[in-house]
Amino acid sequence: MKEKRRVVVTGLGTVNPTGNSVEKSWNNIKNGISGIDYITAFDTSDYKTKVAGEVKDFVPEKRLEKRELRHMARFTKLALYAAEEAIQDSGLCDDGEEFSYKSKVTKIEPERIGVIVSSGIGGLDIIEEQHSRLESMGNEKVNPFFVPMSISNMAAARIAIMHGLKGMCSCPVTACAGGSNAIGDAFLRIRDGYEDAFVCGGTESCISPLGVSGFQNMKALSPSNDPKRASIPFDKDRNGFVIGEGSGILVLEEYEHAVSRGAHIYAEIVGYGSNCDAYHITSPSPEGAGGAACMKLAIEDANIKKEDISYINAHGTSTPLNDKYETAAIQSVFGEGAKDIFVSSTKSMTGHLLGGAGGVEAVFSVKALEDGFVPPTVGLQETEENMNLNYVPNKGVEASLKYALSNSLGFGGHNACLIFRNMK
């Protein structure tokens, strides 16, 4: 049997509603500062949905070239911005190089580093814009860059092209599990020796009239007009998720390679589970059976005991079924020990980033291990009967954390689970 190689996290990058860098975002998350507010992207006068997790003060020109930006959808811009931070943070590029949209990776062969970045919906903003042009101005006025701007794989492709990364380049489209699937797939590729490093994670931006209308009309979004009571995972008054946007990117690297170049190692990724409920297009399987099975797969893959898990970054969407069934899944897997595990949902502060969620939440999970700090579930006042886990309500806590598990559960029954180990 081929020996499995160890894989570690050597770079982090994010842009999301709580901040446009890892440092700013994580500080706000630790302090329970939410990025959820009233929608500014378009006029919501005729919409039941009024709030979202929008990225604020985003100036892509700080890291990306204006000429190229004209041919990118917002989800791609967000991914490139976060990827630049992660690549710089990893130290794989030239020492002392300033932020640049083409930071050259010099400390690893281009063929040995790949890119896997998920997006669930892709360039919905571009699709809406160009359809309006078609209807009002005719087919010859549709932008010739329309297709490469809107397709979901373009964030991954742009990262690879701009940084000259020639390993596997892919985009898992598995709804809200996609960001975690991207990281897990990259982990397996490195562990099995196909590449030595990956830029991986997720990105999403569909806070637009069509995106909000679609989720709103299927009763998935919270109709709350109060930003502080809209995304309230595990609360008895939860009534839907808050749509968010952003990107979370990790650099994963083979352990020996990272050590040999003196890289800063945040954590080790040790387990990955992925499966399907095979039950319903939007609803999780009863009592969270699929999610429970996925967590068991990840724990088995990590070759650890379930008692080793210190913290779970829950999918925690603030929808009635997800939070109820995810709680049941955790109780099923961990039994009586479930009450001893910290379980929190950072979506209470970011909203739900769909295909970008797993990437951003992986960043938070890794930072939780590094800082020995469990982020809170903001807005949680009272839970339902049988929802009795330690959801870390409203105020984060310092704690010695050994293993962190991150759940991502998506429409179509897609489940993905990642496990990270504290190496301190």
pLDDT of 10 over the 60 cut = yes
The pLDDT tens digits for 259-274 are 999 999 999 999 999 9
At residue 358 the predicted structure's pLDDT band, cuts being 50, 70 and 90, is: very high
46: confidence class by pLDDT, cuts 50, 70, 90: very high
Higher pLDDT, 3 or 281: 281
So what's the pLDDT on residue 68?
84
Reduce the secondary structure of 123-142 to three states and give it as a string: CHHHHHHHHHHHHHHCHHHC
67: confidence class by pLDDT, cuts 50, 70, 90: confident
Residue 331 pLDDT class (50, 70, 90 cuts): very high
Q: Residue 182 corresponds to which amino acid?
A: A
What are the pLDDT digits (tens) for 145-168? 999 999 999 999 999 999 999 999
Per-residue pLDDT band for 376 (boundaries 50, 70, 90) equals very high
Angle between helices 320-334 and 289-302 (to 10 degrees): 40
What is the band of 98 on the pLDDT scale with cuts at 50, 70, 90? low
What pLDDT is attached to residue 219?
Answer: 97
Q: What is the mean pLDDT of the chain?
A: 96
Burial class for 414, CB neighbours closer than 10 Å (0-12, 13-18, 19+): buried
Residue 100 is predicted with a pLDDT of 59
The pLDDT assigned to 424 comes to 86
What is the mean pLDDT of the segment spanning 185-206? 98
Q: Does 102 or 179 have the greater pLDDT score?
A: 179
Q: Residue 1 above 80 pLDDT?
A: no
State the Cα–Cα distance between residues 151 and 147, nearest whole angstrom.
Answer: 6
| For the chain, domain boundaries | 8-267, 273-421
Is the pLDDT at 207 greater than 80? The verdict is yes
CATH 3.40.47.10 describes domain 273-421:
yes
Quick one: pLDDT band at residue 101, thresholds 50, 70, 90? Answer: low
Mean pLDDT for the stretch of residues 354-377: 98
Calpha distance 366→424 (Å, rounded) = 12
Say if CB 71 and CB 149 are below 8 A apart: yes
The predicted model gives 20-25 an average pLDDT of: 98
Q: Is the pTM of this model over 0.85?
A: yes
Residue 97 has pLDDT above 60, yes or no: no
**Catalytic residue list:** 176, 315, 352
Q: Comparing 8-267 with 273-421, is the CATH topology the same? A: yes
Of the pLDDT bands very low, low, confident and very high (cuts 50, 70, 90), residue 96 is: low
Q: Write the secondary structure of the chain as one string of H (helix), E (strand) and C (coil).
A: CCCCCCEEEEEEEEEECCECCHHHHHHHHHCCCCCCEECCCCCCCCCCCCEEECCCCCCHHHCCCHHHHCCCCHHHHHHHHHHHHHHHHHCCECCCCCCCCCCCECCCCHHHEEEEEECCCCCHHHHHHHHHHHHHHCHHHCCCCHHHHHCCCHHHHHHHHHHCCCCCEECCCCHHHHHHHHHHHHHHHHHCCCCCEEEEEEEECCCCHHHHHHHHHCCCECCCCCHHHCCCCCCCCCCCECEECEEEEEEEEEHHHHHHCCCCCCEEEEEEEEEECCCCCCCCCHHHHHHHHHHHHHHHHHCCCHHHEEEEECCCCCCHHHHHHHHHHHHHHHHHHHHHCEEECCHHHHCECHHHHHHHHHHHHHHHHHHCEECCECCCCCCCCCCCCECCECCCEECCCCEEEEEEEECCCEEEEEEEECCC
Domain 8-267 has CATH 3.40.47.10: yes
pLDDT at 265: 98
Predicted local distance difference test score (pLDDT) of residue 103: 72
Position 104 scores a pLDDT of 78
Query: In the chain, what percentage of residues exceed pLDDT 90?
Result: 93
